[in-house]
Amino acid sequence: MFSHKSKRLKLLAAAIATIFFSGTVLAQTPTLAIGEYSPFVAQQLPEYGVTAAIVSAAFNAQGIDVQYDFLPWKRGYTQTLNGKYVGTFPYLKTPERESSFLYSEPIFTDRFRLFVLQPQQNQSNWYNKRVCIPLGYDTTQIQAFTSANQITFEQPPDIANCFKMLKRNRVDAVWVSELVAADTNRELFGADAKTYPCNVNLLDESKYYFIVSKTLPQANQWMSRFDEGLKKIRKNGRYAEILRRFGMH
């Protein structure tokens, strides 16, 4: 009898331990590293912007609340890589990042373009020019174009500085998403601000992702829970509702 009772107690303890440890991810409140990249994410925006609203909703659909720390992008990326933060977003996919991070399903799709001061600039104008891309931003999509034309990168700390440099003719173009270009110009220069997308043959569709360092404890579980939540909000209409609320449907 004692041996049967001991066995039952061991099984009960194992079951309790399984429940406890399987629920540790859900019981925690993950902190995510983000920065200023309006209109996708910014401290002054409702819900911190459309991509933060999507990420929060995906985790909430799995019963997980999240909190955010705003940091310079390079610092947030490095500290997420080192495991201080559960994840960060919105990031483009590159081979270098894929070696160190797990990628979610896409959270948002956008278009990247070269923006210039004068309309109808084309590729023949670009030899030995200067293109502004903020420090820490990915240059993979534009690398072949810039190398072929011997273009120099200027890399200030943020995208606002890029557009200020463009207006002062200190650079010839800014490489940025269409939505970010419109938002930044409006914020800096008002409704009459004019910049133009340059019609050159570059990859123009870009997908943003939530990323988690592969060295983070339970990294696969975090990513699995996020992707499941993202799938839920796409299916139940919450994702589309967020896009409508931010005027991006």
Phi then psi for 149, rounded to 5 degrees?
Answer: -105, 10
* Residues 115 and 235 grouped into a single domain: no
Does 35 share its domain with 115?
no
CB atoms within 10 A of CB 69: 15
Task: Compute the distance between CA of residue 150 and CA of residue 152 in angstroms, rounded to an integer.
Answer: 7
- Structural domain total, the chain: 2
Residues 6+ apart with CB under 8 A from 152: 128, 129, 130, 131
Q: Residue 172 maps to which CATH number?
A: 3.40.190.10
Let me know whether 36 and 104 are in one domain. Answer: yes
Structure token digits, residue 243: 């896009």
Domain identity same for 39 and 85: yes
Please tell me whether residues 95 and 134 are part of one structural domain.
no
Domain match, 215 and 192 both: no
Q: What is the pLDDT along the chain (249 residues), one digit of tens a residue?
A: 434 444 444 444 444 444 444 444 444 799 999 998 989 999 999 999 999 999 999 999 999 999 999 998 889 999 999 999 999 999 999 889 999 999 999 999 998 889 998 876 555 678 899 999 988 788 888 888 899 999 999 999 889 999 999 999 999 999 998 899 989 998 898 877 788 888 776 766 789 999 999 999 999 999 999 999 999 999 999 999 999 999 886
- Are 144 and 233 in a shared domain? no
Quote the domain boundaries for residue 70: 2-108+208-245
Residue 33 bridge partners (DSSP): 69, 88
101 and 121 housed in the same domain: no
